[in-house]
Chain A
Amino acid sequence: MKTYDIVIIGGGPAGLAAAVSAKRSGTDSILILERDKELGGILNQCIHNGFGLHTFREELTGPEYAGRFIEQVEELQIEYKLHTMVMDISSDKIVTAMNSTDGLFEIKAGAVILAMGCRERSRGALNIPGYRPAGIFSAGTAQRLVNMEGCLPGRKVVILGSGDIGLIMARRMTLEGAQVQVVAELMPYSGGLKRNIVQCLDDYAIPLKLSHTVVEIRGKERVEGITLAQVDETGRPIPGTEEEYECDTLLLSVGLIPENELSSGMGVALSRVTSGPVVNESLETNIEGVFACGNVLHVHDLVDFVSEEAAAAGRNAARYVQSTDDASRGGGPLVEIRAVDGVRYTVPSGINVERMEDMQTVRFRVGGVYKNCFVSVYLDEERIQHRKRPVMAPGEMESIKLKKEELLKYPDLKVITVKLEEG
């Protein structure tokens, strides 16, 4: 059985950044396992620009952004295998994978970085009634067909869900010659970034109907039309508000689900809120030496933050495999980070103050739209941060930073609380 210090599951933006960072942190023996035909993951089908504003201070397309990291992987001579599906990871970090050339094989990993990304919620998960004709695609599937296969999935389009991929696809389908009639969103606010609503819908005069959902799909062979209806506060359709649309295509952009079947198979504990692993400050899961980053950990809106998070996971994994003393390897006491009052979750959800880096980023999402609220951080009862934010929405990830030197001043610290407070 071959052995690597670090095996990275997934060669998308998270896996690439984690690999580069681990290598730069002094670990040489690294292997990336990627199921697709090339590195870069879902970025390869994101041909629009807007990537890299934080990381590279310039606007890149998805493939260009991925390319920057792939170049580094090549330069650093990090090993990777393409067309390779990881079938199983055991709790003692034996990775079973398969491809056409090596067949079914096992690798012993010193540390594992989970970077498998996420999948799209399907129509089935929403239980939209109606027929099951051709022409219903998740937005990402349509994106792949259009941007990688050059195929037009439809000509008259309705989009359900205002997730970022749906918004991007509203513009893309329009540019490719389709007529995008409307984007309907179940919630009273959009699930996507404000900038995407402006650049992808407003600029093309595509209406966004908030608090609306699809209540019927017509067409037995191919979609012929759908019915939208307004919903009440509980999300139930309001009778009498139905509007019929003729269309041949329904795109769904109704949420992303971290893809953690491998993680749960090896015993990694998952959060009910994020559907991603529960991690500490090192982005390490409940299994020592198993780290997670990117969309498999929690769904991000900007790839720049994925890269940043993954770089931390890479550093931490390298430290883990290089260190000999137990204290810096893993385990040890954790200070819980509690997400309350409008804060849905935090990543990480616990911190080992001794082990943390000088500055720790804690990412979170809010549960609704909040205007002129404060993000507050409490160390036990004492408030140490109180920052005003003009607008916060579920579609935009937020973060706070914690300083190690500040936390060290509280040797008996039990709980860090992150919450929203009125002005």
Chain B
Amino acid sequence: MYDVIIIGAGVSGCASARELSRYQARICVLEKAEDVCCGTSKANSAIAHAGYDAPTGSLMAKLNVQGNRMMERLSKELDFAFQRIGSLVVCRDEEEMPNLQALYDRGVANGVEGLRIVGKEELRRMEPHISEDAVAALYAPSAGIVCPFGMNIAFAENAAVNGVEFRFDTSVQGIRKTERGWLIETDKGQYETRCVVNAAGVYADTIHNMVSGHKIRITPRRGDYCLLDKSAGKHVSSVIFALPGKYGKGILVTPTVHGNLLVGPTAIDTEDKEGVNTTREGLDQVLRKAGENVKDLPMRSVITSFAGLRAHEEHHEFVIGEVEDAAGFVDCAGIESPGLTASPAIGVMVAGIVRELLHLEENQAFVGTRRGILNPQELPVEERKQLIRDNPAYGNIICRCEMVTEGEIIDAIRRPLGAKSLDGVKRRTRAGMGRCQAGFCSPRVMEILARERGKNISEITKAGGGSRLVVGVNKDAL
């Protein structure tokens, strides 16, 4: 019998797990994928939004601004990448200036600090590659960029260290009310718990509707993105948004914390909750619209494209709280943009709700800090030399594009909730994320995974499940 079962190991589920581990409780996270951060949390704009978008008074606005404010400290405590580089919402039409002003006013009402409308000249000084048509922009110095994998994994590892259990490859099939709480049926057996947190992303409606008469509906809203080589990473220095208006929503252009340039997303509603396939139309739209606000984008430098699904709730609002007709069942649903930014605040809110429900006591042994995977590139030369003397694996480069060493990969595999697949290693270390897109390093990472996990190389997968990378040995079918 658990006190809390959290369904979903995305960023909101893991933030909730981490915050709940501050209390004395038996907590378990059920995740249908093989790793944390496998759904919406891994494929998004990776932005810490300032908080001027959501309607004043909404939960979305409140948690966005709160989450943004928590980001700096949290990134230090949990050791993930975050840079407060500011954002610009670019207006390209004098007639739309009232909309820019309205955005400013809403931001101020939402409590966003430091907002300012900058004119043409200043804008050009800030961003030399801004479109010639730009007439003004809303500058939000508090916006930033974050490593979405890094943050999600940090929450999860910290939760695990504080006693939260994780069950991967475990898919929830049904939920029943019991006298003492809830019985969760999964493809790996039953789990009993006093309280459920539904952080199931695009499946949050499916899970919610298993227990409640008040149905909710989550529409997967696909966003296609293109990622550009690091050589293009300094093309802009802040997050560049288009002012939503008569030309539609527009495509953002932003540096990433790893030094690449990201452009996207589209917004295409789909029925398929697993439909993370990019489409020709989607990618064409990204390529076409990307240049509207930023000129001379080197689109030849695209190194990969991907799509993510936003968990769009029909009222475009976060749905967080105990479900009215299902005592002890707490929704954390509709977590779409700015969900990543809000996740630290979402975690606090969810934990608060559950604590009150279960009257949880504080966990005196809670450890609030976590060390991330050591990145030797960030060390001073002498320390790096010492590191290699102490552990020669840090002298062996495996991923030549991102200069990732064997030492980092071994760390990623051996640490709590360590990587089991190529993608798991990639999200933790960046091995395979560079310009050759794992062409050179994947056989070597497969070897290391097989060795560290005591497996045969043919059992190594790209991302768990049926994603095996090799299917046999030479001539086995002859």
Contact = CB atoms under 8 A, between A and B. Distances in A.
A404 to B, nearest CB: 39
Given A100-B395, A123-B437, A221 B467 contact: yes
Contacts of B392: 100-101
Interface string A104-129: 10000000000000011011110101
B470 A85 contact: no
Question: Chain B, interface size: which category?
Answer: 35 or more
Nearest to B227: A124
Interface string A253-293: 00000000000100000000000000000000000000000
Given A129-B282, A144-B443, A124 B437 contact: yes
A87 B396 CA distance: 12
Nearest to B388: A103
Of listed B457, B465, B473, B474, residue having the most chain A CB within 10 A:
B474
A85 B400 contact: yes
A99 interface: yes
A215 interface: yes
Contacts of A150: 473-474
Interface string B268-295: 0000001011111011000100000000
Given A98-B397, A134-B461, A155-B477, A104 B388 contact: yes
Contacts of B473: 150-152
A132 B422 CA distance: 13
B370 interface: no
Interface in B224-256: 226-227, 231
B458 interface: yes
B465 A177 contact: no
A127 B472 contact: no
Interface string A151-167: 11111000000000000
A220 B443 contact: no
A151 B470 contact: yes
Nearest to A217: B277
Interface in A10-62: 35
B387 to A, nearest CB: 9
A151 B478 CA distance: 14
Interface in A78-110: 83, 85, 87, 98-104
A188 to B, nearest CB: 21
Given A104-B388, A127-B305, A129-B283, A176 B227 contact: no
Nearest to B477: A177
A261 B400 CA distance: 11
A178 B477 CA distance: 8
Contacts of B475: 176-177
A215 B278 CA distance: 11
Contacts of A127: 226, 283, 287, 302, 305
A127 B476 CA distance: 34
A65 B96 CA distance: 67
B467 A133 contact: yes
B303 interface: yes
Given A35-B397, A85-B397, A221-B466, A140 B305 contact: no
A248 to B, nearest CB: 7
Contacts of A102: 395
Interface in B371-430: 381, 384-385, 388-389, 392-393, 395-397, 400, 403
A382 interface: no
A138 B476 contact: no
A232 to B, nearest CB: 14
B467 A222 contact: yes
A134 B468 contact: yes
A130 interface: yes
A152 B388 contact: no
Contacts of B171: none
Contacts of B467: 133-134, 221-222
A306 B97 CA distance: 60
B167 interface: no
A153 B304 CA distance: 22
B168 interface: no
B283 A141 contact: no
B258 interface: no
A125 B461 contact: no
Contacts of A359: none
B403 A85 contact: yes
B477 A104 contact: no
B436 interface: yes
B291 to A, nearest CB: 15
Interface in B337-392: 381, 384-385, 388-389, 392
Contacts of B384: 103-104
A267 B51 CA distance: 42
A140 B388 contact: no
A131 interface: yes
A156 to B, nearest CB: 10
B217 interface: no
10 contacts: A100-B392, A103-B384, A119-B440, A133-B462, A134-B462, A141-B443, A151-B470, A152-B470, A153-B471, A221-B463
State the 10 A-B residue pairs at the shortest beta-carbon distance, nearest first: A124-B304, A100-B392, A122-B437, A134-B462, A100-B395, A221-B466, A177-B477, A134-B467, A151-B470, A85-B397
Interface of B: 226-227, 231, 274, 276-280, 282-283, 287, 302-306, 381, 384-385, 388-389, 392-393, 395-397, 400, 403, 435-440, 442-443, 447, 457-458, 461-463, 465-478
Interface of A: 35, 83, 85, 87, 98-104, 119-120, 122-125, 127, 129-135, 138, 140-141, 144-146, 148-155, 176-178, 215, 217, 220-222, 237, 248, 264
